[in-house]
Amino acid sequence: MIRIWDLLLCVAMLACGVTSAAATMRIVDDRGGQFGKYLETFAKVRSSGERVIIDGDCLSACTLVLALVPSNQVCATPRARFGFHAASVPSNAGGIATSVKDTQALWNIYPASVQRWINQHGGLSRRMIYMEGRSLTGIVATCDGPTLRALLVAGAAGYSGTLRPIAPHQPGFRAFSTR
């Protein structure tokens, strides 16, 4: 199993170089998952200059977007909600255990503004804590009017949570999920 430390090195290598943005990634109803998939995806987004719109739940490993993608490439709609918790790994007994080492590595890559918010809300533990609404102020920019209108045209209400273009006539938007 690849540890988070190895993945962070991979991210640093992938994040070198910047090209022009080709699309906008829209994140809706993302429950998180394996860190590696998110580290790889967000490193590519970072280096491409692609914009990311958070338009619903971005939980667990998905919150790495706040650490890996520059803030000028990320915006949040009024539906945006981030969920944070301690890193977990499979235990020898077949269950799930909190990993202090991986939680610390995760903590170290979050921006100071996210760290402050997490500390003010009890820290990283097994319990999920949610950042939404006014709590996003100063951490994630609010999407501008043209961006919000483009989402409505693209069919935001019908999003299914799979990796695909939002609408065939708007190939500049793509949805993100690691499932």
Domain boundaries, the chain: 20-175
pLDDT in tens, 141-173: 999 888 877 776 665 443 334 333 334 344 454
Q: What is the pTM of this model?
A: 0.75
Contact in structure between 11 and 33 (CB atoms under 8 Å):
no
| Regions of the chain where pLDDT drops below 50 | 1-2, 5-22, 156-171, 173, 177-179
Answer left, alpha or beta for residue 97, where phi above 0 means left and psi between -120 and 50 means alpha: beta
Report the alpha-carbon distance of residue 103 to residue 125 in Å, rounded: 9
20-175 sits in which CATH class?
alpha beta
How far CA 113 is from CA of 81, 100, 120, in Å, comes to 16, 21, 11
Minimal CA–CA distance to 80: which of 114, 59, 54, 61? Answer: 54
Residues 6+ apart with CB under 8 A from 129: 83, 84, 85, 118, 121, 122
Tokens found for residue 112: 């100071």
Give the DSSP H/E element, type plus range, for residue 4.
helix 4-14
The pLDDT score that the predictor gives to residue 36 is 85
User: How confident is the model over 125-137, as pLDDT tens digits?
Assistant: 999 999 999 999 9
**Contact status, residue 49 vs residue 77, Cβ threshold 8 Å:** no
Instruction: Give whole-number Cα distances, 44 to 35, 50, 90, 106, 147, in Å.
Output: 14, 9, 27, 19, 22
